[in-house]
Amino acid sequence: MYLKKLTLKGYRNYSDAEVTFSNQINVFLGENAQGKTNIMESIYVLAMTRSHRTSNDKELIGWDQDFARVAGTVEKSSGEYPLEIILSKKGKRAKLNHLEQKKLSRYIGHLNVILFAPEDLSLVKGSPSVRRKFLDMEMGQMSSIYLYHLVEYQKVLKQRNAYLKQHRKSGKLDQTYLSILNEQLAAEGAELLAQRFSFTRRLENWARPIHSDISQGKETLTLEYASSFSVTSETDKKQLMNDLLKQYKKHEQREKEQGTTLYGPHRDDIRFFVNEKNVQTYGSQGQQRTTALSLKLAEIELMNEMTGEYPVLLLDDVLSELDDERQTHLLETIQDKVQTFLTTTSLDGVKKELLHHPRIFNVRSGQIEMESE
């Protein structure tokens, strides 16, 4: 899978731009605040229908513009097709093959991307919400079934929390209605728990040998899906659903008092262990960075395994954050296999011998100019 062409209109500081890409490595060179990260963000938006930098879509619309348009042509083994996202003050529209998609969940997954930016190095040491978002965003691209159950879970969770909050204010509660919400939330939650556990195991299978290679065989990486429920490969969804219902019953009074749902996959986490020690708590900065890099490289392989296509890789100013050894491992792993977009202020700190025939673009004040090849 690769992105052949990108068209921007009224997006951030790009009033009008059209770029054709190499299916190998594309490098965007330029000083800070010229628009390099905006290009990366626009590709992410084209894939995921949302930005990784802001939850406010209006920020993506350029100054004095009524709307922003991001369009691209994707090439896959099955052929090519256009994608389009239009953002306006009225909302967001997504088109696949020129047909508007009523549900964004039916659009996501037609361009798979993996973003690696400096803030992703905090994936290991950041808060649990960072890792839950990581799970949901990556799994949502790979599995339309997971994305469906995630959307349903979030919808019922919002209803249940609103009802618990309403009870806290009024003191009135319809037990039958709460039981219906419990059943719905437990059914969707069981699906998420089972799929997240399976994903974590599969991600570990790819990440462990990668981490071992980077650490020259000195470290063993393991992953653990951390939940308040006992989840194993033998646990079936019916058991998980019953476990969730028991938790709701057991802690009903506490949830009523606090006006929120205290148990379920929206509270879970992933833990990382290097040589059996929790790397989030006891790992060095180097071990934490190696773990983050191993996870991103493992994602590439897992996405190919699950979808039959390698994703597009976005490296947003991240090479300068990696030492020579980790940078080398990253570039050698993706070479001639994954279409890659790389932003940097200079190629001085990049191992140029590992960039095979890159297409280089100079970015200045929202203008993109390709260097002669």
How far is residue 243's CA from residue 229's CA, in Å, rounded to a whole number? 7
- Region 83-91 average pLDDT: 94
Binding site annotation covers 32?
yes
Distance CA 22, CA 235 (A): 46
31 annotated as ligand-binding = yes
Q: What is the pLDDT of residue 238?
A: 93
Q: What is the pLDDT of residue 334?
A: 86
CA–CA gap between residue 220 and residue 215 (Å, rounded)? 9
Q: Per-residue confidence at 357, pLDDT binned at 50, 70, 90?
A: confident
The alpha-carbon radius of gyration of the chain (Å, integer) is: 22
Strands 113-116 and 312-316: parallel
Secondary structure in 3-state letters for the chain: CEEEEEEEEEECCEEEEEEECCCCEEEEECCCCCCHHHHHHHHHHHHHCCCCCCCCHHHHECCCCCEEEEEEEEEECCEEEEEEEEEECCEEEEEECCEECCCHHHCCCCCCEEEECHHHHHHCCCCHHHHHHHHHHHHHHHCHHHHHHHHHHHHHHHHHHHHHHHHHHHCCCCHHHHHHHHHHHHHHHHHHHHHHHHHHHHHHHHHHHHHHHHCCCCCCEEEEEECCCCCCCCCCHHHHHHHHHHHHHHCHHHHHHHCCCCCCHHHCEEEEEECCEEHHHHCCHHHHHHHHHHHHHHHHHHHHHHHCCCCEEEEECCHHHCCHHHHHHHHHHHCCCCCEEEEECCCCCCCHHHCCCCEEEEEECCEEEECCC
Tell me which amino acid residue 351 is: K
Please determine, looking at this structure, whether the domain spanning 127-307 carries the CATH number 1.20.1050.90: yes
173-191 per-position pLDDT tens digit: 899 999 999 999 999 999 9
The distance from CA 225 to its chain's CA centroid, rounded to whole angstroms, is 17
**Which of residues 183 and 355 earns the better pLDDT score?**
183
CA distance 327 to 319: 6
Please name the residue that has the structure tokens 């790979």. Answer: 142
Query: Which pLDDT does position 373 carry in this prediction?
Result: 63
Q: CATH number of the domain at 1-112+309-372, please?
A: 3.40.50.300
For residues 305 and 183, give the distance between their C-alpha atoms in angstroms, rounded to a whole number: 34
Q: What are phi and psi for residue 135, nearest 5 degrees?
A: -60, -50
How many CB atoms within 10 Å of residue 265? 29
Has 256 been labeled as part of a binding site?
no
- pLDDT range class, residue 265, cuts 50, 70, 90: very high
Interatomic CA distance for residues 329 and 321, integer angstroms: 14
Q: What are the boundaries of each domain within the chain?
A: 1-112+309-372, 127-307
The pLDDT of residue 232 = 79
On whether 30 is known to bind a ligand per the annotation, the reply is yes
pLDDT of residue 4: 97
Would the pLDDT of 58 be above 80?
yes
* Calpha distance 240→251 (Å, rounded): 17
36 known ligand binder:
yes
Chain segment 310-329, per-residue pLDDT in tens = 999 999 988 888 888 888 88
Average pLDDT over residues 29-54: 94
Confidence of residue 348 (pLDDT cuts 50, 70, 90): confident
Using alpha carbons only, what angle is made at residue 203 by residues 197 and 209, rounded to the nearest 5 degrees? 140
Tell me the β-bridge partners of 69: 9, 86
